[in-house]
Amino acid sequence: MDLITLIICVFINKYITEELFEEWVYENDSLEEFLGKKAYLEVIGTRFNDMIEIASLRLFLKNYLFTEKQFDCSNIHDAFCEKWANERNCEAFGNGYLCSEKKIIDILFKEFRYPEVTDYTTIDLREVKTEEQLLESLSKGLGFYRFPMHWNWFDEYLVYSNTPKIVTIKGIDNIRTNFYECYHFIIDTFERLKIKKDNLLIYFE
C-alpha cells in the first residue's frame, strides 16, 4: 500500500488528529496528483477547525477511495496497523519523508509496535486493589503493546504474544484473597500456556 492511501485512511479512521492531517495536506506536493484537481480542492477547502466540515471530509475521502481507487478504508483497522508497524524498520523512515509523514509514522509505531521482549520479567501484584489494575499490571509485565479490556482478550494476547521466558509473579496471595475468580483464571491460563511454550518458566511468590 502506498503511503498517501495509508495516511488518508488513518485520518478517516481517527488514528491521527485533524491538525496533523492538515499539516500533511499542505506539506505534500504529490497529493493533488494522487486525488485529481477537483478532489484536491475539496480537501484544501476544508476548514479544519470545523468539526462538521471534518466529518464531511472524512466521508468524502472514504467514498473517493472506494469509487476512484477501489480501496475500502475500513480495511485499515487495529490488526492491519499492528501488522504494518511490526513488519517495518523504524530507521527506514528517514531522509526523503516529509516532517508530517514522520510524525504520523511515529504515532503508528508508538501505538502498535510490539515492545522488545526480555528473557526475564517480574510482575508485582502486592499492591493491586482493583481488577482493572490487575489486568493492566499483568499485561504491562508480559510486554503486551496495549492492555486488553477483559480477560478473554488477555487469554488470546498471552497465547499469541512473545512472552518473556521466565516470569516471576509476586503477590499471588493478594490475588487469591481479593480476586478469587481471577486467581483461578490466571493459574489455569498460565498452566495451559506452559504446555504450548515449552521453554516458559513461571514462578508465583
Of the chain, the end-to-end C-alpha distance in Å amounts to 48
Q: What confidence score (pLDDT) does residue 6 get?
A: 95
CA atoms within a 13 Å half-sphere pointing along the CA-CB vector of 149: 0
Cell numbers found for residue 138: 499483568
Is 152 exposed, middle or buried (CB count within 10 Å of its CB: 0-12, 13-18, 19+)?
exposed
179 vs 183: CA distance, rounded Å? 6
Q: What is the CB neighbour count within 10 angstroms for residue 133?
A: 13
What DSSP state is assigned to residue 168?
E
CATH 3.30.370.10 domain position(s) in the chain: 120-204
CB distance 138 to 179 below 8 Å: no
- The predicted-structure confidence for 151-185, as pLDDT tens digits, reads as follows 777 877 776 667 788 889 999 999 999 999 899 98
- The predicted-structure confidence for 99-123, as pLDDT tens digits, reads as follows 999 899 988 888 887 666 668 889 9
Architecture field, domain 120-204: 2-Layer Sandwich (3.30)
Cell numbers found for residue 101: 509523514
Residue 21 is which amino acid?
Answer: F
Find the mean pLDDT for residues 135-153: 78
205 vs 195: CA distance, rounded Å? 21
Q: What is the CB neighbour count within 10 angstroms for residue 11?
A: 23
Ranges 3-7, 20-24, 47-51, 197-201: which has the least confidence: 197-201
- pTM over 0.75? The answer is no
